[in-house]
Amino acid sequence: MDDLEEDLTCSVCYALFSDPRVLPCSHTFCRSCLKNVLQVSVSFSIWRPLRLPLKCPSCRSVVELPTNGVDALPVNVCLRAIVEKYQRERPPACPEHPRQPLNVYCVQDRKLICGFCLTVGQHQGHAIDDLQTACVKERGAQSRLTESLRWEEVCGLAERLAQEKERSHALVQNDREVVSRFFQGLDLILAQKEERFLQALDRASVLLASAYDPLIQQVKDMQEQHSELLIARECSVNILKYTKHPEALRCSHGQIQNICFISQQQFLCEWITKHWSNPRQDPCLDPFNISCSENQCTSVQKNTFVLNRGL
């Protein structure tokens, strides 16, 4: 087989012939090898002739190629058939060690190896077996595996798969319920917190109202009292103005009440006492201090009644 492979090897690429073509000198080479040789020859030529010359790599004779080049050379049909038959019958070559056949079976890695892989390669020290014995064992293992897969076991396997599916579905449903309960609890907690916060805000609103409403009412009352005091002050000024004329001393009952109201105000008492001290010195209108007590207000009313009788 080695001698035959040597005869079927191209002298240019040192590989089995691929699409062998015959030169006019009867030597055979691969079509791709001839194209490479022709390309090198043309690159060194100054001018391109009509028929391309080619020097045979074996006999060194110059041959003229047809106009179409290497593709026009005849195919060595017999040699191509021999190469194809040889490739079918020879054992496959090792991809790591070229030209080394895969003739050993590695039991540990369950693959074909060559002698170099066993001695110096990555399969060194592994358990091996010859191809024939390994083939018989593998066929027996395949038969045993086929026998073990009976129809009943296949049916049982389908039933177990269905049960496992139901169990997994139940687990998923349980997890779904757990998640739902968890988020429902969160919603309840959030609702309770929201209610407490709203109640606290309501209490704060009530406290604000109880704090500000009395103050607002007091300010309103002070505004009303201020307006009444302004009116009373205007009336008092008018009364004091009319005291210079005896005919104007006949006051109405409402004006007398205004005088009593004004006498209750501290800041008007001094003003009234000052301006009632006039040259007439009426014995019924002697100067006096007006206080805010009820008895002194009554005394003012009595003096005013006496004044009315004297008029």
For 83-101, how does the pLDDT look when each residue is reduced to its tens digit (9 = 90+)? 988 888 776 778 787 777 7
Mean pLDDT within 268-291: 43
Q: Which residue has the tokens 């041959």?
A: 63
For 26-80, how does the pLDDT look when each residue is reduced to its tens digit (9 = 90+)? 899 999 998 888 877 655 554 455 556 788 888 888 888 877 888 888 999 999 9
> In what helix (H) or strand (E) does residue 147 lie, and over which residues does it extend?
helix 131-148
Q: Is 113 helix (H, G, I), strand (E, B) or coil?
A: strand
What is the rounded CA–CA span in Å between residue 247 and residue 242?
8
All domains of the chain, ordered by start, with CATH?
Answer: 2-90 (3.30.40.10), 92-148 (3.30.160.60), 243-310 (no CATH)
pLDDT at residue number 265? 46
Q: How far is CA 254 from CA 130, 146, 249, 285, in A?
A: 142, 129, 14, 19
Q: Given a cut of 80, is residue 185 above it in pLDDT?
A: yes
Q: Given a cut of 60, is residue 137 above it in pLDDT?
A: yes
What is the rounded CA–CA span in Å between residue 12 and residue 40?
14
DSSP string, 52-106: -EEE-TTT--EEE--TTGGGGSPB-HHHHHHHHHHHHHSPPBPSSSTT-B--EEE
Q: Is 256 helix (H, G, I), strand (E, B) or coil?
A: helix
Residues 6+ apart with CB under 8 A from 53: 41, 62, 63, 64, 65
For 155-184, how does the pLDDT look when each residue is reduced to its tens digit (9 = 90+)? 777 788 889 999 999 999 999 999 999 999
Radius of gyration of the chain (CA): 66
Residues 6+ apart with CB under 8 A from 129: 104, 105, 107, 137
What is the rounded CA–CA span in Å between residue 104 and residue 130?
6
Q: Which of 97-101, 148-152, 205-209, 291-295 has the highest mean pLDDT?
A: 205-209
- First-to-last alpha carbon distance for the chain, in angstroms, is 168
**Local confidence band at 305 (pLDDT 50, 70, 90 cut-offs):** very low
pLDDT at residue number 69? 81
Name residue 10's amino acid.
C
pLDDT at residue number 167? 92
pLDDT at residue number 111? 84
Mean pLDDT within 282-287: 40
For 220-247, how does the pLDDT look when each residue is reduced to its tens digit (9 = 90+)? 888 888 888 888 888 877 777 766 554 4
For 189-222, how does the pLDDT look when each residue is reduced to its tens digit (9 = 90+)? 999 999 999 999 999 999 998 988 888 888 888 8
User: 10 Å Cβ neighbour count for 114?
Assistant: 23
Q: Given a cut of 50, is residue 102 above it in pLDDT?
A: yes
Mean pLDDT within 92-119: 80
